[in-house]
Amino acid sequence: MANKMVITCALTGAETTKAQAPALPVTPEELADAAAEACLAGASIVHLHARNNDGSPTADVKVFKAAIDLIRKKCDVVIEITTGGAVGMTPEERIAPVSLRPDMASLDCGTVNFGNDYIVNTLPIMRQFAAEMNKYNVRPTLECFDVSHVQSSHILIKEGLIKPPYHYGFVMNVPAALSLSVKTLSYMIDQMPPESFFTVMGIGRGHLPGICGAIASGGFIRVGFEDNIYYSKGRLAKSNAEFVERAVRISHEAGLEIAKPSDVRQLFKIN
Ligand code: ZN
């Protein structure tokens, strides 16, 4: 696996709207098309949120199931669902789609400001989520919006709730959370336990610096409309795949091969 870059595509998120980004996939059909295009372009993981037909975020298991089933019909990509959900959802609502046995799920390792919104994950909620993921054989991505989140993950690891290899997701440059810089990223990386992999998720203007930071520090890349809608200053991305294609080109220039979904399953021990 050395020298292979794992690219995750976060197709839609909970906050981005079609008014902001007309190419945003929303319905299960649109999500499946976007996943297939992203996979073809080189993404090995898609990170999935579900929406109602009016575009509002939902944790409805039926909507997640429709999207997952359609994606699996179209391509062999690794599917990671959110358990961050959206503001106002209860922890029980947010964790429920894990019962669909996706390959992976995000596990937010603490509470954080998210612009004017927020995510609340206390240690008891984190334990509950980790236990549910173990029950359904779902691999967590330990999403950390702050250095203290990496440190909180150590508590779950010590309690045996999370098994190696660990996959961290460093969500950086969220408004009102931790900014992205060489120093902040390095500090996050330094806090990880042995047998850890990490993906850098640079939000908004942190998108391209996040890609470069991941390559420079031996991490993996996340792109997609959840994290950023602009391909360049003032120019909206045409699709999720357009972001993936650029991440592939940059990785190739850095001498990296692109991981396939089968590589990711082997690396993260997903079965
Ligand atoms: Zn997400």
163-188 pLDDT per residue, tens = 999 999 999 999 999 999 999 999 99
Q: Which of 38-47, 80-89, 146-155, 225-234 has the lowest mean pLDDT?
A: 80-89
C-alpha 84 – ligand 1 centre gap (Å) = 7
C-alpha 247 – ligand 1 centre gap (Å) = 19
Look up the CATH number of domain 4-267: 3.20.20.70
CA dist., res. 235 & res. 23, Å (int)? 12
Residues with CB under 5 A from ligand 1 (ion): 82
User: Residue ranges of the domains in the chain?
Assistant: 4-267
pLDDT at 2: 53
Contacts of residue 56, defined as CB under 8 A and 6 or more positions apart, other chains included, come to none
- Closest listed residue to residue 164, CA positions, set 268, 44, 263: 268
C-alpha 14 – ligand 1 centre gap (Å) = 7
Average pLDDT, the chain: 96
The one-letter amino acid at 3: N
The packing angle between helices 147-158 and 123-135, to 10°, is 60
C-alpha 108 – ligand 1 centre gap (Å) = 10
The Cβ of residue 111 has, within 10 Å, a number of other Cβ atoms equal to: 18
- 204: alpha, beta or left, given left = phi > 0 and alpha = psi -120 to 50? left
C-alpha 68 – ligand 1 centre gap (Å) = 15
